[in-house]
Amino acid sequence: MPIHIPVLPNEVIEGLAIQPGDTIVDGTFGGGGHTRLILEHVGQEGNVIAADRDPAAIEIAQQDERFANVVLVNHNYADIPEILTSMGIEQVDGILLDLGLSSDQLADRERGFSYQSDGDLDLRFDPTKGEPAYRLIQRLSEKHIADLIYEFGEERYSRRIAAQIVKQRHVQELRTASQIAQLVRSTVPRSKHHAIDPATRTFQALRIAVNEELKWLSVALRRLPEHLKPGGRFVVISFHSLEDRLVKSAFRENEKLKQITKKPIRPTEIEISQNPRSRSSRLRIAEKI
């Protein structure tokens, strides 16, 4: 059974401004935490469509009777327009994107999302598509690795990390998540006053790269507002500044959207204490004019 705890749950429901009978799209199903809450609020007359790039997430949900009334699709959230068209739906009342990892993905030790994993450093949301991260760092040049870690991880020690990766890959195959995490930890100074693991930014960068996350987010931010009804809400939860800047810019520049949140909504100290993974979450809301 999924163990995912949804971030900013009350803020999501309030942000979507759900009414009984609404049709809502959860473009990032994950462990289904937000979907369950949305189901409760749309009622029996409402409709919920949930998508996820991760086939494992959809497969698990299809076996869970709590989601019997949800339309579940294994697709990238940027494909929501095609999903709606296939269902004969032109516009919906709300769309949610939660751009974070689910707790279930972190708990899967075979896919490398956790730093402690002895599984391959895969990091793909859909293991059937693209290239796993361990192959990426095996073939890229030192400069390319450094640039990637700097651009997508905002890691100031990117050159030092890339040099160490290239040095070590000549000695042994760098394949597992724990191997890479330990290599980064041994390379990056750890601040005495900072609780974040030194490997965090590098893992983030590699994950963004193999999943092309910023590209697909940009596509979705451009396409999805067209499929909202007037007054419909678009809610996005981001987890780092690269995502948040894209969302902020898209909401501000789209003439068909009105920003409901001038500044992102952050989790309370109570929520952070109960769900530490929510610490970096930022929620923005826009409304279709």
9-104+214-288: CATH architecture:
3-Layer(aba) Sandwich (3.40)
Question: In terms of DSSP H, where are the helices of the chain?
Answer: 9-16, 33-42, 55-62, 80-86, 103-107, 133-139, 142-153, 158-169, 177-187, 200-211, 213-223, 241-253, 269-274
- Amino acid 155 reads E
**Closest residue by Cα to residue 287 from 228, 237, 238, 247:** 228
pLDDT in tens, 26-39: 999 999 999 999 99
The CATH 1.10.150.170 domain(s) of the chain lie at 109-212
**46 pLDDT more than 60:** yes
Share of the chain above pLDDT 90, in %: 87
pLDDT at 106: 63
The SS3 assignment for 235 reads strand
pLDDT at 131: 95
**Average pLDDT score over residue span 98-123:** 78
pTM of the model: 0.94
The CATH 3.40.50.150 domain(s) of the chain lie at 9-104+214-288
**243 pLDDT more than 90:** yes
Fold of 109-212: DNA polymerase; domain 1 (1.10.150)
Beta carbons of 228 and 234 less than 8 angstroms apart: yes
**1 pLDDT more than 50:** no
